[in-house]
Amino acid sequence: MKEQQPQRGFDAPPASRASDTSLLASLPQETETAPASTIQADLEHAMRGWGADRRAILGRLENATPEEKAEVRGNARLMERLRRELGARRFQTALELLGGQEQGGGQQGGQQGGQQGGQQGGQQGGGQEQGGGQQGGQSEGPQGGQSEGPQGAGAGQADAEAAQVIARRTQWDQVITTSDDLAQVQEAFSGYWNLQLTNSGQNTNFTVDLLRRIHQTLKGLPDQDTRAGVWRRLNLIDGGGGTWDVTTGSVNLGGAAGSLPNQQYGNRSVDWLSAVVRHEIGHAVDSALGGVQGFKQSVGGWSPTDIDIDAWAAQMGNGWTGQGGSPTADERREITTQIRAMMSRTRASFNGIPLETDTAAEHPIRRYLNAGVPVIDIARECLSAGGHFYGRTQAIKEFNGKCFAINPYYARFQYCSPTVRNTILRTYQLFSADEFFAEVYTVFYDGYDPQAGGQPGQHLPVDSWKSWMLQNVHNRGAAPDQAAQQGLTNPTIGIHAGRDSGS
């Protein structure tokens, strides 16, 4: 479960434009590239930033000319964005203001799904039965809402397809939240989230309750992190933790996570299942964004993953210098060899190992054991906790404005900023820069509801973490060129795989 997997490139970068790219991937290209018209620009302006100005959106729609309304209805991409920004209830209002065929598409499709979902389940989603869109168009509004908008047949087709997608999702959602038939719920879940569901565990199975809870958790994340191909498979495994497998694009989730108690994140008690799901998706987002070194190294002050012991010691100022004596170059080599040997012996153990284990009385490690040499003191403390060094925050000592540890699991010498060590969400954030990002991501979206609007990050205690996450993760679709350049460089460093998130 805790095997480190070889690093491999992740071949599916996220949607670089708006987050709904995947949802509308099959729609005609012109919906993405058509120049912004007046009403489109107005609506986009109202939807910009951290929270949509819903009053402005609805006000603009209310005052739109019939031609403008038809234009909005004919722009599937814009419609989908409105649906996301406004939430279900206000989107209905918007549809009423717009008149025309979209109204039937959203409303009737949804209601049909609600009534029939229990019996017919996910199979219904594939067909043509979302003709509700066309029906509504004929009966509503003086303009009739013909599918031929000002942009012509292409936009009309896009409109119909978007209405279908929305209606299908509404039906799947009904099945997931109301059906007790596991096979139906699995199929609907798979369709709704555009994911493959697999089970590689020996002693675990999907249940309706588990899928329903995961469904709710995923709804608390933006589409760009759930349905855009950042990860493509939800795989059930044994145990109560999770891993991210970059090679297969799989979030591996321990089936027992659903029955474990809440965990403390800072001063909040957080549902463990939802935390594991978000944590592993955080890893997937990390991979998709190319390693988020701007966050790990610039914001979190983390070391590069490949520094050696001398570079590490140099960052301390005088890492090899003790009050009671300083080892010579030869002695440093012997000490380094011993530290590395003990790292590999204790690796993932709870118990740890004394640094001087199996050394002769004259070994330099013993001579300098109590000489106050920072390198030796830190190694000794961390090794005594083994692979669980991160839980012993006092072992992670500060020198020269950085906090130093050795990670036996990865056989790494590492450091982070004092802020990272002192502002604990969960001590697991001290395990590595990757885990730090995943834990921050977990808390960033804790309590967030995309439908309700507002901005995520309310429970993140450090402003610089929050603002970086907002700009580079949450709003990355809004300004792709900027997001691509800010701290998302170095695509080959720091991509990791398969780390266990468990306790």
The residues binding Zn ion (CB under 5 A) are 435, 438, 499, 501
Q: Phi and psi for 175 in degrees, rounded to 5?
A: -65, -45
Residue 459 or 499: the one with the smaller Cβ distance to Zn ion is 499
Nearer to Zn ion, 186 or 429 (CB): 429
Q: In this structure, what is the dihedral angle of CA atoms 289, 293, 294, 300, given to the nearest 10 degrees?
A: 130
Contact 404, 374 (CB under 8 A): yes
* Min dist. Cβ of residue 224 to Zn ion (A): 20
How far from 83 is each of 52, 88, 160, CA to CA, in Å?
Answer: 11, 7, 15
Whose Cβ is closer to Zn ion: residue 293's or residue 501's? 501
At closest approach, how far in Å is the CB of 361 from Zn ion? Answer: 41
- Choose between 136 and 498: whose C-beta lies nearer to Zn ion: 498
Least separation in angstroms between CB 402 and Zn ion: 22
- At closest approach, how far in Å is the CB of 435 from Zn ion? 5
Residue 167 C-beta: closest distance to Zn ion, Å: 37
Shortest distance (Å) from residue 438 CB to Zn ion: 5
As measured in angstroms, the least distance from the Cβ of 88 to Zn ion is 33
Rounded least distance, CB 1 to Zn ion, Å: 12
| 298 neighbors 494 (Cβ within 8 angstroms) | no
Helical (H) or strand (E) element with 441: helix 433-444
Place of tokens 């010691």: 313
Compare residues 73 and 499 and give the one whose CB is closer to Zn ion.
Answer: 499
Question: Buried (b) or exposed (e) across 336-352, using 16+ Cβ within 10 A?
Answer: bebbbebbeebbeeeeb
Q: Closest by alpha carbon to 14, among 294, 224, 241? A: 224
Provide the token pair at 292.
Answer: 């988020």
Q: What is the dihedral of CA 142, 145, 151, 157, to 10 degrees?
A: -170
CB closer to Zn ion, 121 vs 387: 387
Helices 329-346 and 374-385 cross at an angle (nearest 10°) of 10
The CB-nearest residue to Zn ion is 501
Q: What type of residue sits at position 64? A: A
Asked if 241 and 1 touch (Cβ cutoff 8 Å), the reply is yes
Nearest to 201 by CA among 154, 155, 170, 242: 242
Minimum CB distance to Zn ion, residue 35 (Å): 43
Residues 6+ apart with CB under 8 A from 385: 352, 391, 392, 395
Picking from 392, 398, 396, the residue whose alpha carbon sits closest to that of residue 406 is 396
- By beta-carbon proximity to Zn ion, the closer residue of 70 and 270 is 270
Distance of alpha carbon 374 from alpha carbon 354, whole angstroms:
16
Which residue carries 């999907």 as its tokens? 206
With respect to Zn ion, which residue has the nearer C-beta, 412 or 499? 499
Distance between CA atoms of residues 435 and 427, nearest Å: 10
- Of 77 and 426, the one with the shorter C-beta distance to Zn ion is 426
